[in-house]
Every structure is written in structure tokens, then in C-alpha cells.
Amino acid sequence: MARLIRLVKIYGKPGTNIEVVAVRGVTLTFHEGEYVAICGHSGSGKSTLLNLLGCLDRPTSGQYILGDDDVSQLDDDALSEIRSQRLGFVFQNFNLIPQLTVLENLEVPLFYQGILPKDRRDRALQLLDRVGLIERIHHRPMELSGGQQQRVAIARALINDPLLILADEPTGNLDTATGDVILDLFDQLHAEGKTILMVTHEESVAARCRRIVTLRDGQVISDVRND
């Protein structure tokens, strides 16, 4: 599904000659249907790694093989196409478009793929029903609770039937009970065969995943099965 080979990401601090190595020679393989937690303290490199996996950033060196493509060598247009067709994103802050309704937020990715309006609407309605928000389709994000917004974000992540679902602290802004509802939804998606990579610093969240990769100072210090 996805392979990282000696992946390195170095950032330069603006206005200085200082360089920060965020990811240090990471080599990992993720298989179809896996449910993986990427853990570590603040500054460990876990969010940077997720950004690289999501083609939101480019590695300084090394390779990222997604399917049969070395995406680390692709140009911006090709990366944009990869993001829209193969990847689904769920963020801590939801990242919904505030001016659009729930239904419109889900239709946007399909609009850019040239999907016909009726097909866009049918697919969006199907997923909103799946996450229990069919009665909220005409609401805007600020009219929803945090848990409802995150369910919209998960539905949007599924709209293109992605190869990988990438979640960055998806319960970080939610109370425990609401977070459990969201994690139950991820559990269901994993049971259906979806491949999920989730960044978290919470042990209780990581414990629900089937594999736990832990980073420290941009390096993998453990990679264990959680059976």
C-alpha cells in the first residue's frame, strides 16, 4: 500500500542558517487494511510524517512509494491529483469550509474531479447517512457540535473512496464521550477493510489500533503489533 524508504525532512528556520531535522531516515511499510497509530511526544516528527504521507509536503531525501508510484518525485499537479483521488484526510480542527453547507462540503472534492451534480449529491447523501447526519445536510459547520463536524470531516474523507485515510489527532478537540463515538466510527471503517494511519499522543486512542509506531526525534523507536 505505502512504503517509506530512508525518508528525511529538513526544515530551515527563516532568517537563520539553522536547520531542523524533523524526520530522520524513516523506513516503514504499511499494508492494505492496516489500522496504525503513529505516536510520540510533541516535536517527535509524527505530524510531519503524516504530512509527507498525505503528499502535503515533500521529503528532503528518500522515497515514498504509494501503490506503484514514487510520489516523492512527482510535480505539484500530480501530487494534487494523488491527494484528490487516493487519500482521505481527517484533521483535529475539522478543516470544513465555513461558508458551505454540510452537503456542499462533501461535494467539493467531487466537483474538482468533474463528477456530475446528481452523482455528487447521491454519494454525499449516502455518506452523510452513514455517519448519522442526514438531517443536517443544510446546516453550516458552525451550527454543528464538534463531534458532528468531525463526522462530516470523516464523511468527506471517504467521498473519493481513498486508498489511505490519514487522521491527525482526530479526537484532540473533543470530549471523551464524543471522541469515543468518532473512534467507534474508525473501528467500523477498519473492520470494513479501510487502511487508516492515525497520529495521536493519547495512549487510549493508540490502544484501539492494531499497530503502534512510535517516533522520537524524527526516528522510529518502536513498531509493534497490538493484538
Q: HSE (CB half, 13 Å, CA atoms) of 43? A: 2
Task: Please determine, for residue 18, whether its predicted confidence score (pLDDT) is greater than 90.
Answer: no
Lowest-confidence range among 75-79, 144-148, 188-192, 222-226? 75-79
Q: What is the pTM of this model?
A: 0.92
pLDDT for the residue numbered 178:
92
What distance in Å separates the CA atoms of residue 106 and residue 91, rounded to the nearest whole number?
15
Name the band, by pLDDT with cuts 50, 70 and 90, for residue 38.
Answer: very high
Domain count, the chain: 1
- Tell me whether strands 219-225 and 35-39 are parallel, antiparallel or unpaired: unpaired
What distance in Å separates the CA atoms of residue 110 and residue 116, rounded to the nearest whole number?
8
Return the closest-CA partner of residue 211 out of 9, 28, 44, 5. Answer: 28
CA distance to 58, 83, 217, per residue, from 48 (Å): 10, 16, 11
Lowest-confidence range among 56-60, 73-77, 106-110? 73-77
> Edge-to-edge strands of the sheet including 219-225?
87-91, 164-168, 195-199, 35-39, 211-216, 219-225
Name the band, by pLDDT with cuts 50, 70 and 90, for residue 14.
Answer: confident
Distant-in-sequence contacts of 117-123, Cβ < 8 A, 24+ apart:
123/159
Task: Please determine, for residue 113, whether its predicted confidence score (pLDDT) is greater than 90.
Answer: no
Name the band, by pLDDT with cuts 50, 70 and 90, for residue 173.
Answer: confident
- Alpha-carbon torsion 68, 73, 75, 80, what sign? positive
Q: Which domain holds residue 57?
A: 2-225
Q: Any idea what the CATH number is for the domain that residue 165 is in? A: 3.40.50.300
Q: If you search the block for the grid coordinates 461558508, which residue do you land on? A: 99
Name the band, by pLDDT with cuts 50, 70 and 90, for residue 127.
Answer: very high
